[in-house]
Chain A
Amino acid sequence: MSKATAQPLSLKVASGAFLAFWCLIAAFPIAWIAVMSVKSPRDAFDASAWNVITGPATRAAGNGLSLLDILLGLIVLYFAIRWAFTRLPGMVEQYSPPGFIVLGWLVGAAVYGLLFVLIFFGALPLVFGMLNSIAGPLGTPILGLTTEHYVAVWGENQFYRNFINSMIVTAGVVTVSLTVGTLAGYGLARSGSNLAFWLLIIALVFRALPHSVLVAGYLPWFINSAEILRPILGDLSPTLYGQPWAIIAVLVAINQPFTIWMLRSFFQNIPSELDEAARVDGCSHFQAFRRVIMPVMWPGVITTGLFSFLLGYNDFLVTALLLDAQNQTMVPAIAGYFNRETTTTDQVEAVAAAVSITAPLFLLVMVFQRQIVSGLTAGAVKG
């Protein structure tokens, strides 16, 4: 860096201060609801911020962490996270059958999550209880912390049902829209015809459509689908309203315009000499796609998959209108709390549910930060 581009101190300080301020604003609402969710209702809505953080009422009710607990907890947490990044990948690769590495990761992550929950919420509290009774002043609770709202939300209110529904819908959306989208994205990237251009423009217009417009089109057909389909399918004809797989189809279609645009820009980055060489060697287009393109397309597919996941996971409008109460996913289910949110306990339970919905997204950013950033810039920087 030359002398002319060196910055005066004042500018550096101002830019640093602005950045710190932005980070505070960006993280504060999310961090604060996480803190609120582990306090008793009186603490969670206390007027003093210090009381919300330390939670005197929660502590008084017998739910608290001592200095010893916090230290030990942090140490265990540190090793748990370290282990996840150093040893877990090796174990997954060792134990998963060849060709099923993705499945191996899914199983590995699920087992790891289960173990984590068991150790943190099952084993550690027991150990802490014994240690605190013999530790003296170090063992007196100083920080109020309770998991009762999470227990209420996941246990009594059966939030796990909504969680399972959410997982079914998102998994379906990601798989189907990637399968359909990669084929179309590849076709569009390798064809310079006017038809391809028009398809892309129409997809752009479709992307801009408000989802409520589409749902207004589905609703009458979905509710009456059993009678409409009866002449064709007989008594087997389903009522589409309230069916998770119907929602998957709808969300995949809504997601298609975005998916094909994004995958097309990734495929354009793969040199076309690669599949041309395969074609010269006698492959058909499909064979070239399967043997030459598929092995190198995974970065783009993972990135697009992440955004498909977000669409399915974050959706409120479509799932709220097209699913009934039994099959509700997590985000619309939280609206159910509004109606009965009369006491502060209900409010804090709603906060705990909201944090439960956010936690997987937090993990997602932690693991896939690089892919998300590359996905955001892929469409834009190349125009």
Chain B
Amino acid sequence: MKFKTFFWFVAPSVFMMLLFIAAPLISVFIQSFQITQPVMQQIEVETCTPGFLTQTCTTEIKTVPVIDEETGRTQTTTAWVGVQSYQNVLQMDKFWAAIGSGNWGDILQIDFWKALRFTLMFTLVTLPLVIGVGLMIALAVNNATKALRGPVIFISLLPFIITPVIGSLSIYWLFVGDGILTATLERWLDRDIAMFAQAWTIELLMYFYRVWHVAPFAFVIFYAGLQTVNMDTLESAIIDGANRFERLRYVIIPHLMPLIIFIALIHLMDCYRVFDEIIGFRSQAHVISLQWLTFDFLTPDDAGNRAISRAAASAMLTMVGIVILLILPLRRTWRDHKGGAH
């Protein structure tokens, strides 16, 4: 295909990606070093209250935003502040103070570090669970009679396809104060249970939700992979006296290895963006994630202001994490591409 033809085929797509992905990235990068604030001015205000004989008048100096006379909006200025926004997000002074005093736990009181801790732990805990559960379902379905497979796949797809916020809400409602599973647990254990009053129970539910949501995806891919296992290899393994577990360990899992890597890669990308669970479980008071932190900065506060520059700083820090996460797999792909070219 000639370059010119290729260019016209991909141009619309590349244009959209440049305009709506690459350009915002640059804009975020610049914003993270700037801060935009309303221009404030100090004016003298005289307020008078009616009093006996004479009015009581007081004058005080108030700080009010300057209003643009033409548009009627507050005027704003934008100033370069260097890494101040990053400082505000990272709060390194508190971080070092916590390390200096030996109270490592205090680090997790700072929003950013709290979010980072949860995001990383969430990714690392759910990854093996998703692969394990997905593989088990795939093996079990492969074992089942043909007539059962269709309905089982249908039911398995439901948790995968459901809107993430709704999926986590549906589990939230099972465990909320008077939800059915909390009530059942309380009757069994004969004690009061509040699943949403402390961080660790919420985290457990979030891990459960994510495995429930993603395991079907792993299952479908593994199931497709199982259909292509080489029967000859499997039979020679049987002749060589390999038992069931050894066949799984030395024939089937190596055959599925590329798929395991693929799922792990997708799962890393998606878990690092964990966000919908925080909304669904309403856990912002206890557990937050990196993406939620940026979302929170971008949501207008009570006064209607958005902390754009802090959001930009936290977004850039999130970006750094994803780049570190992706370096290894990308280097591998590059080497494969080079190898394939020869």
Contacts and interface: CB of A to CB of B under 8 A. Distances in A.
Given A207-B269, A214-B20, A199 B14 contact: yes
A187 B16 contact: no
A210 B294 CA distance: 10
Contacts of A372: 157, 161
Given A22-B140, A381-B224, A256 B16 contact: yes
A335 B212 contact: no
22 contacts: A15-B139, A23-B156, A33-B169, A49-B184, A52-B180, A184-B10, A187-B5, A195-B3, A208-B322, A210-B294, A216-B24, A217-B315, A220-B31, A285-B1, A286-B5, A316-B276, A317-B276, A321-B299, A350-B169, A354-B169, A361-B161, A372-B161
B110 interface: no
Given A212-B275, A260-B13, 8 more contacts: A19-B141, A203-B17, A210-B290, A210-B315, A213-B25, A213-B319, A314-B164, A316-B163
Interface in A236-279: 249-250, 252-254, 256-257, 260
6 A-B pairs with the lowest CB-CB distances in the bound complex, closest first: A217-B24, A187-B9, A253-B20, A184-B13, A212-B294, A47-B183
Contacts of A36: 173
Given A19-B137, A211-B273, A216-B298, A369 B153 contact: yes
Contact of A15 (B140, B221, B294, B323): B140
B65 interface: no
B279 interface: yes
Given A26-B159, A334-B165, A376-B221, A201 B10 contact: no
Nearest to B330: A201
A4 interface: yes
Contact of A186 (B9, B161, B173, B238): B9
A287 B216 CA distance: 41
Given A183-B13, A380-B262, A313 B163 contact: yes
A197 B173 contact: no
B157 A214 contact: no
A4 B240 CA distance: 12
A214 B322 CA distance: 14
B161 A206 contact: no
A232 to B, nearest CB: 15
Q: Give chain A's interface residue range (CB within 8 Å of chain B).
A: 35 or more
Interface string B12-52: 11101101110111111001000010000000000000000
B318 interface: yes
Q: Give chain B's interface residue range (CB within 8 Å of chain A).
A: 35 or more
B47 to A, nearest CB: 34
A276 to B, nearest CB: 11
Contact of A32 (B9, B180, B238): B180
Contacts of A5: 234, 238
Contact of A381 (B31, B221, B234, B244): B221
Contacts of A206: 17, 21
A180 B12 contact: yes
A219 B16 contact: no
Given A187-B10, A210-B318, A365 B167 contact: no
Interface string B40-81: 000000000000000000000000000000000000000000
Contacts of B225: 380-381
Q: Is the interface of B mostly helix, strand, loop or mixed?
A: helix
A12 B143 contact: yes
B158 A33 contact: no
Contact of B164 (A29, A316, A362): A316
Given A22-B137, A357-B163, A377-B220, A16 B144 contact: yes
Given A253-B17, A256-B17, A212 B212 contact: no
A354 B165 CA distance: 9
Given A18-B140, A36-B173, A47 B24 contact: no
Nearest to B323: A205
B298 A373 contact: no
A217 B23 contact: yes
B312 interface: yes
B274 to A, nearest CB: 9
B221 A380 contact: yes
Contact of B167 (A29, A184, A250): A29
